[in-house]
Structure 1
Amino acid sequence: MANLLGIDIAEDSVRVALLRTGYRSIAIAALEELPIASYPTLADAVRAVVAPLLSRGDSIATLLPGDKLFVRRVDLPPTAMRQLAEVLPFELEAQLPFDLEEAVFDSRLLPREGPKAPVSVLACVARLDQVRGRIETLQQALNVEPERVDASSFALANLVVLIPELVVPGPIMIVHLDGATTDVAVLRNGKVEYVRTVTGGTEGLPMSAKPLARELRQSLLAWRSQGGAAPELVYLTGPGSTFQGAEAYLSSELGVQVTGLPAPRMEGLTPELQQKLPRYTRAVALALGLTRAPGSVNLRQGPLTYERGFGFLQEKVPLL
Structure 2
Amino acid sequence: DLTEESATDMGLMAALEVVAEKLDISGAVCVISIPGDRIAYRNLTVPFKDSKKIRQILPFELEPALPFPVEDTVTDFHTVSDLIREPESRNNTDIIAAAAENTTIKSYIATLELLKIEPETITVSGYAAALCLTRFSNISENCLFMDIDDEDKCSMFIIISGQICLIRSFRISPGAEKTESLCTETERTVAAFEEFFSPASNFQPDEIHITGYGLENFSGFEAEAERILGIPVKRVKLNRDAGAVIRPHPTTVLKTPEQMDNAFALAMCEIEGISGLNFRRGTFAPRRQWAEHKSSFIKTGILALLAAVSIFSMLMIESYSMEKKLAKLDLQINDIFKSTFPEITKIVDPLHQMQVAMQDIKKTAFLPGETGKYMLTVDLLNEISKRVAEKIDVEFTRFVVSADNIQIAGETDTYNSVDDIKNQLAQSEFFKEVTITSTSANAEKEGGNRVRFKLRIDM
**What are the superposed Cα offsets for residues 206-253 of structure 1, whole Å, 9 maximum, x if unpaired?**
343322322222222222323341112101111344554211111122
Could you tell which deviates more after superposition, 261-270 or 297-306? 261-270
The two structures have a TM-score, normalised by structure 1, of 0.73
| CA distance, structure 2, for counterparts of residue 97 and residue 209 of structure 1 | 28
More helix, by proportion: 2
**1:176 aligned to which of 137, 140, 147:** 147
The two structures have a TM-score, normalised by structure 2, of 0.52
Structure 1 position 199 matched with structure 2 position 179:
no
Q: Provide the residue aligned with 1:301 in structure 2.
A: 281
| CA distance, structure 1, for counterparts of residue 162 and residue 144 of structure 2 | 11
**2:46 aligned to which of 76, 99, 107:** 76
| Closer/same/farther in 2, CA of residues 50 and 164 from structure 1, 3 Å limit | farther
Note the C-alpha offset of 1:68: 1.1
Q: Is the 8 A contact 2:212 2:259 kept in 1?
A: yes
| CA distance, structure 2, for counterparts of residue 53 and residue 103 of structure 1 | 34
**1:119 aligned to which of 82, 86, 93:** 93
| Closer/same/farther in 2, CA of residues 199 and 290 from structure 1, 3 Å limit | same
**1:164 aligned to which of 137, 143, 148:** 137
Q: Provide the residue aligned with 1:289 in structure 2.
A: 269
Note the C-alpha offset of 1:200: 1.6
Q: Which structure: larger Rg?
A: 2
Q: Provide the residue aligned with 2:400 in structure 1.
A: none
Q: Provide the residue aligned with 1:59 in structure 2.
A: 29
| CA distance, structure 1, for counterparts of residue 134 and residue 27 of structure 2 | 23
| Closer/same/farther in 2, CA of residues 296 and 81 from structure 1, 3 Å limit | closer
Q: Which runs of 5+ in 1 are unaligned?
A: 1-10, 13-35, 310-320
After TM superposition, list the pairs within 5 Å mapping 1:77-96 onto structure 2. 77-78=47-48, 83-96=53-66
Helix, strand or coil: the match of 1:136?
Answer: helix
Q: Percent identity?
A: 23
Note the C-alpha offset of 1:258: 0.8
| CA distance, structure 2, for counterparts of residue 157 and residue 50 of structure 1 | 28
| CA distance, structure 2, for counterparts of residue 60 and residue 279 of structure 1 | 19
| CA distance, structure 2, for counterparts of residue 274 and residue 157 of structure 1 | 23
| CA distance, structure 1, for counterparts of residue 135 and residue 50 of structure 2 | 34
Structure 1 position 47 matched with structure 2 position 17:
yes
| Closer/same/farther in 2, CA of residues 43 and 240 from structure 1, 3 Å limit | closer
RMSD of aligned Cα (Å): 3.2
More strand, by proportion: 1
| CA distance, structure 2, for counterparts of residue 161 and residue 288 of structure 1 | 13
| CA distance, structure 1, for counterparts of residue 20 and residue 194 of structure 2 | 40
Helix, strand or coil: the match of 2:264?
Answer: helix
Structure 1 position 267 matched with structure 2 position 244:
yes
**1:155 aligned to which of 105, 121, 128:** 128
Could you tell which deviates more after superposition, 84-93 or 287-296? 287-296
| Closer/same/farther in 2, CA of residues 257 and 302 from structure 1, 3 Å limit | same
The one-letter code sitting in structure 2 at the alignment partner of 1:151 is V
| CA distance, structure 1, for counterparts of residue 121 and residue 49 of structure 2 | 32
Could you tell which deviates more after superposition, 124-133 or 257-266? 257-266
Could you tell which deviates more after superposition, 63-72 or 80-89? 80-89
Note the C-alpha offset of 1:305: 0.6
| CA distance, structure 1, for counterparts of residue 129 and residue 177 of structure 2 | 27
The one-letter code sitting in structure 2 at the alignment partner of 1:104 is V
**1:239 aligned to which of 206, 213, 222:** 213
Q: Is the 8 A contact 2:39 2:100 kept in 1?
A: yes
Note the C-alpha offset of 1:51: 4.2
Note the C-alpha offset of 1:306: 1.4
| CA distance, structure 2, for counterparts of residue 150 and residue 79 of structure 1 | 23
Note the C-alpha offset of 1:189: 3.2
Note the C-alpha offset of 1:268: 2.1
